[in-house]
Structure 1
Amino acid sequence: MELRVETRASSHGAVASAHPASTAHPASTARRASTARRATAARRQGRERATQVARRIGTALRESRLAQGRTQADVAEEAGITQPYYSRVERGHEIGVTLEVLASCAAALDVRLAAFIEALPGASLPRDVEHLRRQALVISLATKGAWAAEPEAAVPGDGLRPRSIDVLLARAARREAAVVEVWDLLTDGGEAIRGLEAKVMATRERLGPGWRVEGLLLLRRTARNRQLVRELAPLIAARYPASSAGWLAALTNPDRPMPDAGGFAWSSVAGDRVIAARLG
C-alpha cells in the first residue's frame, strides 16, 4: 500500500504522520459517470414516452366520450374518479395514473385501451376496429381504380421494430404504387410524416427502377385532427403538395394516373367516405 507522509507544525515541533494515499482509479470514476449519464437519459426518455402515451390515451378517451355525447362528470362517476382528475387524464396530464384507473375509464367508454399504447418506438400501433374500417374503405375505393391492394404490407425493420404499410396499392400496367397510411389520432404530426416517408423510400427500393411510388396520408376528420391540421397546414402542404382531389380521382378511376407527389386526404368520422382536403 502506498503511504503519503505529511508534516505539520505543533507546539512540540514538526510532526510527521503517514496514512494510505487515495486508491480511486480513473477507469472506475469514468464508469460511474457514464452510468449516471445513462440513468439520467433513461429517466428523461421514460418521462417523454410516458407523456406521449398519456396523450394518446387521453385523446382516445376524449374522442370516444364526445362521439357518445357524454359529459366528463358522467364518465368520471362511472369510472369511480372525480371529474377534475378525469379531465387531467383526458388532457394527458396524469402520467402517473394507474392502469386500474385507465382501464376503468376505458370500460366506461367501451374503448380498447391497448390500441392506443405504443409498445416500442417506431413500431406500428395495434389496429382497432376504426383503423381496420378505414383500411377496408381504401381497398374498396381502389378496386374501382384497378389497383391491387395489399393490407399490412411488410417493410424492412431493425428486428425490434416491426413495421407495415396500412395499405399498399399497385397498378402494374402503369408501374405505379401508392403507400397509404391511415391515421385515426394525430398525436404527433412529425411522426406521421416521417413514418410515411420512410415507408415510401423502402417501397421504392424494393420495387426498383421504373416504378413510381408516392405516399397518401389519410386522416380521420375529427374536430381535434382538423384543429391540428389547421396549425400544421403550411408543413403538410409542403410535404404533400399534390391535389387531394387528384389523388381521389386516381384511386377510383383506372384512366387517371397517380399524382407525381405525395397527397393528404380526410376520411369521414364514420369511416365510410374519403374526402378531399383543402389546406389553403
Structure 2
Amino acid sequence: MAVSRRTLLSMTMTGAAGLALTRHARAAAPTAATLAAAFTDHFGAIGYAWTDPLGMISGQSFNGGLRYDETRPEPVAGKSLFVQPAARVEDAEGAGTPGVLALFTICGLRVSEPAEPGALFGQLLTWLVEQRNLDPARLVFVSTEAFGPYRDRHELVRAGRIVQRDRKEAMAAGDGSGYFAPPGHPAQPAFETVSLHYPLPGTEPDDLAYPLQGYLEIGEVSITPLDRRAVGFEVGGFGLERLVMAEGGVAADFEASRRALLRLIESEATASGQPLPEGHGLFSRS
C-alpha cells in the first residue's frame, strides 16, 4: 500500500515516526516534518522525482515481513527521492538506546545513471553541511580503502575523520559501513558504501574504534570508484529521526514509535486484507 507525499509528511507532523515535543524543546529546533519537507523540497528542486514509499508490510519472510529499507523490487529510472518508513526486527529490544526506534524514516536518493561517479555522495554531503549546518569537523566516515579517492576529492571529507575497516570484514557484516549486503535481503543488494556518523548531542567522544561509541549513524551512501567511466546506479540517504537528533531537535521516543508502528501495520493489514506479519508480534511483545 503506497503512501502519498502529502499523507507521509502529515504522518511525520502528527508523530507517526515517534517524535514528541517536550516543554524544553527549542522553538527553532528541527522536527521530523520540517526536515522531511526540507529534504524533498531541496532535492526535488535539483531534479529528483518524488516516488511514493512502499508499504510497511513487505509480504516477505525477511525481517519479520516488515519493510527493511527503501530498496524496491523494480528500480526507478532517472533521479528519484524516497521518504520511506521502515522497521528492523533487531531493534525490537532497542528501547533506551539513543537513536534506535521501532518505526523510523529513511530519506533516500537514487540515481540510475549518474553523470559522473560520486555525484550523489557529493550532493548529499554538501546538503548536510551547507543546508543542515552539520559541523564537518565532527563528521566521521566509516568505510574501506575504497573510500580513499573520495577523501582526496572532497574537502568536507578531509575536514572530518575517517575510520577504515578491513574490506573482508565489512563485506561479511554487510551492515552499510563499508559494504551493504544484509544477509537474507530479498533484493540481494551488494555494493560498496560509506556510513556517516555524528556525535550524540552534548558529547565529544574521542574513541574512533568501530563500532563507534557515542555517535549516531546518520546516513549511508554507495561509493562508485571515481575512475570508472561507465557509472551504474548510486544510492544513499539518511535516517530522518537521527538527523533531527544530530541537529539538536527533540529526541525520539521508542515507545511512541513502537505504538505508531503497530498502528501502521494493523491499518495496512486491514486495508489490504493481508495477515499481520511476524514482525507485528515481535514488536507487540517488546
- TM-score, length of structure 1 as denominator length: 0.23
Mark the structure with the bigger radius of gyration: 1
Greater relative contact order (CA < 8 Å, ≥ 6 in sequence): 2
- TM-score, length of structure 2 as denominator length: 0.23
